[in-house]
């Protein structure tokens, strides 16, 4: 127990070192901003490790929550940059009065509150309603997938209120602070990295608690947990809500660093890409998910620059390859060959290894 925690601390320190020291030194402004963008996807991947890898709830609609966070942030920024005027895209679509649900986003405090509470709250209610009625597994995946599709279609359809397919863009200041200056970008990168590290620490804390063990128990034998007196639907809904809350924070950080949000980050494609990040990195390992996100994203931008039309085939092949040969992803490979304990002791690879021996 003790050594496991110590080994984890070492791994966490290495991650912190890479994010806070190595990357800022190694990359120029442009590349660092790109890494910052990738790291916002890591929020989603970490959430997926908690709810999919740990608890066994596969959501194919995390783009919904990433998008909600991103759109809330963008609404605030857009209102600020528009001043007393209506946001420009509303005028283009002959919306003359500020829609009621835009009004409260004049306040930064309200915006942050909404980013943290609303997506997680929605996820909790959705999860609770479904898990209570024993809807789970592949049915849950299908429902979340359809919801992602519905939301992106809704956003595209309601151009006057959402900016449509182009999303919300053309904003540059946060409470008067110029977001596009190199200095601001560096600060945003650090805020993002520190938030992510805190979340990784938090996830490791959950994993080492009784709650973490219960989540694995729910994945392994849900009925036994229920008949040990636990209200399982609440536990599952809670995990799903936490994962979705993390996705929303990632979305908000995305908008801040990239300067736009559009329906393509809500869509099915984006949602499934996020699942691929977690799978490649290792769905049982929080750290693996972060590295997986970085690796896939880097290769995505490298390959899509060189072979734009081949990228989708490549990522599909990678996904199939990983799922078939390394079900625990990179972390599983690492664990097996280099450093046992990387998965904090609960990987499927480990179980396999024990079964063999």
Partner 1 sequence: MNATGAEKIVYEPDESSLKQEVARLTLELEKARAELARTKDELKKFKQDPEHTFRDSLLLEVDKLTVSFNGFKALDNLSVYVNKDELHAIIGPNGAGKSTLLDAICGRTRPESGSILFKDRDLTKLKEHQIVRIGVGRKFQTPSIYEELTVFENLETSYPEKRDVLGSLFWKRKEDIIEKIRNIATLIFLEDKLNQKAGTLSHGQKQWLEIGMLLLQEHELLLLDEPVAGMSQSEREKTAQLLKDICRNRSVIVIEHDMNFVENIADRVTVLHQGKWLSEGSMEHVKNDPNVIEVYVGH
- Positive/negative CA dihedral, 194, 167, 172, 121: negative
Helix 29-48 and helix 62-82, axial crossing angle in degrees, nearest 10: 140
89/284 with CB nearer partner 1: 284
H or E stretch covering 173: strand 173-174
Distances in Å between the alpha carbon of 268 and those of 152, 313, 333? 8, 17, 28
223/309 with CB nearer partner 1: 223
Residues 186-216 as b/e (b if ≥16 CB within 10 A, e otherwise) read eebbeebbebbbebbbebbebbbeeebebbb
Residue 225 CB: number of other CB atoms within 10 A? 19
100, 101, 109, 229: residue in contact with partner 1 (rule CB under 8 A): 229
225, 276, 278, 315: residue in contact with partner 1 (rule CB under 8 A): 225
CA dist 89 and 48 (Å) reads 34
83, 261 in Cβ contact below 8 A? no
Q: What does the per-residue mask of binding to partner 1 show for 15-54, with x meaning CB under 8 A?
A: ----------------------------------------
CB of 228 to partner 1, least distance (A): 5
Site for partner 1 in 162-221 (CB under 8 A): 206, 209-211, 213-214, 216-217, 219-221
300/350 with CB nearer partner 1: 350
CA dist 19 and 64 (Å) reads 27
Asked if 117 touches partner 1 (CB under 8 A), the answer is no
CB of 326 to partner 1, least distance (A): 18
CB of 205 to partner 1, least distance (A): 8
CB of 212 to partner 1, least distance (A): 8
CB of 294 to partner 1, least distance (A): 27
- Positive/negative CA dihedral, 106, 153, 242, 204: negative
230/326 with CB nearer partner 1: 230
Structure tokens at 228: 């040990």
DSSP letter, residue 86: P
93/228 with CB nearer partner 1: 228
218/261 with CB nearer partner 1: 218
Q: Which residues bind partner 1 (CB under 8 A)?
A: 206, 209-211, 213-214, 216-217, 219-221, 223-232, 234-235, 238, 346, 348, 350-351, 354-355
């Amino acid at each position: 127990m003790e050594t496991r925690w110590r080994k984890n601390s070492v791994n966490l320190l290495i991650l912190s070192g890479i994010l806070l020291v190595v990357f800022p030194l190694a990359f120029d402004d442009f590349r660092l901003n790109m890494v910052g963008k990738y790291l916002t996807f890591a929020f989603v991947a970490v959430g997926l490790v908690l709810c999919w890898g740990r608890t066994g709830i596969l959501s194919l609609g995390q783009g919904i929550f990433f998008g909600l966070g991103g759109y809330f942030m963008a609404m605030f920024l857009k209102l600020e940059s528009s001043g007393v005027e209506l946001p420009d895209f509303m005028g283009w679509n002959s919306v003359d009065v500020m829609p009621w649900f835009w009004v409260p986003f004049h306040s930064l405090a309200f915006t942050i509150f909404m980013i943290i509470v609303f997506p997680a709250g929605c996820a909790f209610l959705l999860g609770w309603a479904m898990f209570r009625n024993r809807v789970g597994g592949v049915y849950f995946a299908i429902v979340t997938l359809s919801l992602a599709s519905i939301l992106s279609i809704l956003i595209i359809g309601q151009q006057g209120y959402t900016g449509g397919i182009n999303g919300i863009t053309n904003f540059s200041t946060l409470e008067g602070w110029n977001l596009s200056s190199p200095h601001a970008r560096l600060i945003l990168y650090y805020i993002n990295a520190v938030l992510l590290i805190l979340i990784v620490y938090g996830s490791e804390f959950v994993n080492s608690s009784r709650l973490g063990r219960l989540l694995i128990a729910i994945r392994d034998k849900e009925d036994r947990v229920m008949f040990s007196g636990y209200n399982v639907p609440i536990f599952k809904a809670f995990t799903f809500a936490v994962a979705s809350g993390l996705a929303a924070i990632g979305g908000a950080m995305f908008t801040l660093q990239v300067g736009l949000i559009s329906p393509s980050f809500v869509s099915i494609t984006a949602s499934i890409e996020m699942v691929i990040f977690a799978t490649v990195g290792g769905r049982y390992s929080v750290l693996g998910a972060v590295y997986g996100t970085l690796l896939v994203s880097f290769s995505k931008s490298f390959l899509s620059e060189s072979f734009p039309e081949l990228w989708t085939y490549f990522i599909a092949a990678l996904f199939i390859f990983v799922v078939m040969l390394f079900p625990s992803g990179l972390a599983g490979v690492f664990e097996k060959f280099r450093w046992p304990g990387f998965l904090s002791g609960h990987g499927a690879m480990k179980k396999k290894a024990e079964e063999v021996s």
